[in-house]
Amino acid sequence: MKTPVVITGVGTISALGHNVDQFWRAICNGESGIRTLTCLPLESLRVKIGAEVPAYEPYEFFSKDELHLLDRFSQFAVISAREAVADAGIMAEELTDAACIIGTGCGGRVADDESYQRLYQQGKTRGHPLTVPLVMANAAASQVSIHLGITGPVFVIASACSSSAHAVGQATAMIRSGLVDVAIAGGTDAPFTYGTLKPWEALRVMSSDTCRPFSKDRSGMVLGEGAGAVVLESLEHAKKRGAHIYAELAGCGMSADAGHITDPSSAGAARAIRAALNDASINPGDVDYVNAHGTGTKVNDVMETQALHQVFGEHAARLMVSGTKSMHGHPLGAAGALELVATALALKNGIIPPTANFTEAGEGCDLDYVPNQAREKKIKTALSNSFAFGGLNAVLAVRSIS
């Protein structure tokens, strides 16, 4: 019998605010955090919008000495992990042997971009001496470990848009195996640099106005930034310390398309969904809500709808499905973590997040996408989908503990 794993703390920083309260309030109101970018010059950018963390001042969260070693993506990871730990009410000594697994798609892009500007644009012959510890992908997990005193297993997972969902799945497996009782898992990314945005523009999957998942007039994805984190514990450990429990992390499903590097497969997505249901011993007909990957691209939204039909059959018509990237954008490696937090809060509060900016359903998109307004409804079981470039899929199943 699998050891039950539960979510006892949540933390976020995103385009919807600097903490979970702001994040959840915006989601319940269907407010979008997509706006004109302010963090870099826009003259030579074709796409000038993004889901940028608003009014972010690093010195409100870190000292000057700390910031020398914190790229923006690491800052976000530490902020969200701190909030999740405080929310869980877990003591510092209980974190010592915990695990910390963070997902990222980009790593330290801000420091990376600054390094290239220094060498190629300014003609410097020496790099900044701290560039390597700033840009390395594992910096985010290492900095969370340092700031929270975690000395157990600590590492990063990089699987593009599925990174943080994979991180949560790995953390869950480690708790189930008895390796640790507590884990902090999540994801972070900060992709708003010139050197990152221009290649994304070249892919021609970016919207120039907003993100409208599943809508007929959807025009592409909108990049975001931020981080999400959850505290996971064995149910026994959580009960022993009288912890507040959001939901059970009941199942994790993973698959690879083994197909095209950017063209997703509904069969691959369906395999991951089925694997999550099987892992959690959940019947398809018992699922109430799906937080969709829902990027707003022409290909992804149809593929995901097809995958849900393949797994759920007639029950698909009764599912509530929403794409919260319409509000917090697509923060790449952080997406799955932010969406897991939204899904856990939906279970806890009986409020289903909407798909914002929805107009009318697009061809091949024929499900209940909870358009524009949150829906009050008590639910017991939900899924959070993450499908990444490279055909790497991760699905998390959450279940009410009461």
Positions annotated as catalytic residues are 161, 293, 330
Q: Which of 374, 373, 365, 369 is nearest to 322 (CA)?
A: 369
> What whole-number distance in Å separates Cα of residue 53 and Cα of residue 334?
13
Reduce the DSSP state of residue 343 to 3 states and report it. helix
Compute the radius of gyration of the chain from its Cα atoms.
20
Up-side HSE of residue 280: CA atoms within 13 Å toward CB?
32
Across 47-181, where does the E strand assignment appear? 49-50, 99-103, 154-157
Distance CA 106, CA 276 (A): 26
Q: Confirm if 380 and 288 have CB atoms less than 8 A apart.
A: yes
Cβ(35)–Cβ(117) below 8 Å: no
Query: Tell me, what amino acid is at 193?
Result: T
The stretches of 180-220 forming alpha helices (DSSP H) are 194-203
Asked if 397 and 277 count as a contact pair (C-beta separation under 8 A), the reply is yes
Which of helix, strand or coil describes residue 15?
coil
Distance CA 314, CA 212 (A): 25
* 8 A C-beta contact, residue 233 and residue 172: no
How do 99-103 and 154-157 pair as beta strands? Answer: parallel
CA–CA gap between residue 337 and residue 19 (Å, rounded): 14
Q: Going by DSSP bridges, is the β-strand pair 5-13/247-256 parallel, antiparallel, or unpaired?
A: antiparallel
User: What residues pair up with 386 in beta bridges, in sequence order?
Assistant: 394
Beta pairing partners, 355: 371
Q: Contact, 110 vs 139, CB < 8 A?
A: no
Residue 80's φ and ψ, nearest 5 degrees, are -70, -40
- Picking from 300, 360, 350, the residue whose alpha carbon sits closest to that of residue 320 is 350
